[in-house]
Amino acid sequence: MGGKPLTGYHLFTFILPLIIFHAHFAMGTPWSVEGELMALAMYFAVCPLWDYFWFVLNPWYEGKFTKEDVWWHSKSIWILGLFPMDYLVGALVSLGFAVLATWWTSDSSLVIMHALTMLGFVIYTALLYLVAPLYHRWYRVMRESDDRSKVEMTHTLPPPAMHKLWDSEQLNREHHAPD
């Protein structure tokens, strides 16, 4: 984990995609070394994306995906100040599994298709980054009003304090408390 804490959330988010990328073996696709290597290649390609997409779509981190603002990535080496080395390692491990599958089968189309898939992920990531401000705006608008009082519910939680929800200084104090 590179000095980062392993939480229950992270354990779940490591295991869930691993299960998903192996699900086709439980649905009739015969297991093979090639299939296993390609499943692992996709797993290691998607996990860094999943992590990064959380930051892109989380309004709290809008414009704050930096080594200084993300404490759990602060111990990582950052590539050109844009993303942690962990993401690059995930991509390289992913390509490594695809290369192994190609070597195992002597089918160069495996690594070529995987590289094209990863290029597609890069394009998708760029598009997501461009539309994320629209999502952030929608997110904030959806939380400007609280309609829970109009619906009869039990155990209703109070509405969030909007001034605290977007108070970055308060959150920085809470998350960067001295040890």
How far does Cα 113 stand from its chain's mean position? 22
Per-residue model confidence as pLDDT tens digits over 62-106: 888 888 888 888 888 899 888 899 999 999 999 999 999 999 999
The pLDDT value recorded for residue 15 is: 93
pLDDT value, residue 135: 93
pLDDT in tens, 8-32: 888 898 899 999 999 999 999 999 9
**What is the spatial distance between Cα 178 and Cα 6, in angstroms, rounded to a whole number?**
21
Decide which of 3 and 88 is more confident. 88
Mean pLDDT of 50-57: 91
Claim: this prediction has a pTM higher than 0.85: no
3 has pLDDT over 80? no
**134 confidence band (pLDDT: 50, 70, 90):** very high
Q: Give residue 6's pLDDT band: very low, low, confident or very high (50, 70, 90).
A: confident
* 4/88: higher pLDDT: 88
The whole-number pLDDT of residue 153 equals 59
User: Does 165 score more than 70 pLDDT?
Assistant: no
- Confidence check: pLDDT of 35 > 90: yes
* Per-residue pLDDT tens over the stretch 102-132: 999 999 999 999 999 999 999 999 999 999 9
Q: Report CA dihedral (13, 17, 19, 22) to the nearest 10 degrees.
A: -160
